[in-house]
Amino acid sequence: MKRIFSLLIVLMLALPTVAGATGSGITPVEGGDGVKVEIGTVGTLDLGKDFFYLNKEDVKKFSTMQGNILSGQEVAGIGPIEDQDWFVYFDYVDSGHIKNAEKEKIKPDKLLKQIKEGTEAQNEEKAASDHIFVTGWDVEPFYDHSTKNLTWSLLLENAEKKPFVNYEVRLLTREGYISVVLVSDSENRKEAAAILSNEILPKFSAVQGERYEDFDESTDKVAEMGLTGLILGGAGLAVAKKVGLLLLLKKFWYVIVAVIVGVFNWLRKKTRRSKDETQETSSTTQETQGPDHPVS
């Protein structure tokens, strides 16, 4: 994987990857103390110094650059500034309130069977080189009552039997949910998922009036599906039509990793250049004014 990853970086950096990102108007926001970013209109997130953020329009541009199918529900994206091969997509789905989530019993074995059937049906509509196979659970679905989060992760293989993982979280809100998809290779999934769970999601806050507990039964719509429906993409046995959107097709996945690194490199260069320019300006001002004339 590392050799493939490095080769793709070289190939992608030989192309105008970074120039394409900047030429497309993509402007990553670097995290740090006091940096708060929007997750659609329903939440905000305190962005740590180790991450960058793409807003709604930029994450759409970024996805389009990879040839991914847009869902129309994209609201944000977050990635690591350092050279790590993962990225997090945020979508907001106005599904209606997922009522009584804490009372629903999730049946992992039954769900896995349904997802496999749906994925196999979808494979029949794609070229053999684009087939995706579900081999089992990486993380069985579980619902956290305290945070109102549903989490699961599938073990997947592409047509060449190379494993990959999309780690999924659903943040339930007043009238829908935020879909969080972590794209990573299977080797680094645990480390990336730990970063997502410990350093990113805890910094998320639903805005006042959009929290799960703000649901008003007298005025708000209720979703027809529950937690099981969320895992199946809201389509039951017809999940084949949805899985392709959520799993990010194999032929684009490695390209996403490579292009992300290109954007990271551009961001670091831009950050260093900005700091150097600031230091140079400060030094020039001090030399001009002299030691007896402090900068005001």
Residue-wise pLDDT for 207-227, tens only, equals 999 999 999 999 999 998 899
Cβ atoms of 12 and 255 closer than 8 Å: yes
pLDDT value, residue 159: 83
pLDDT band at 1 (very low <50, low <70, confident <90, very high): very low
| Mean pLDDT, rounded, of the chain | 75
Indicate if the pLDDT at residue 283 is higher than 70: no
Q: Residue 164: which of 140, 134, 193, 194 has the closest Cα?
A: 134
pLDDT value, residue 242: 32
pLDDT value, residue 277: 60
Q: What fold does the segment set 2-271 form as a domain?
A: Protein Transport Mog1p; Chain A (3.40.1000)
Provide φ and ψ at 228, rounded to 5°: -60, -40
pLDDT value, residue 234: 44
Q: How many CB atoms lie within 10 A of CB 255?
A: 17
Q: Residue 157: which of 195, 196, 117, 116 has the closest Cα?
A: 116
Distance of CA 117 to the CA centre of its chain: 26
pTM of the model: 0.74
Q: Where are the domains of the chain?
A: 2-271
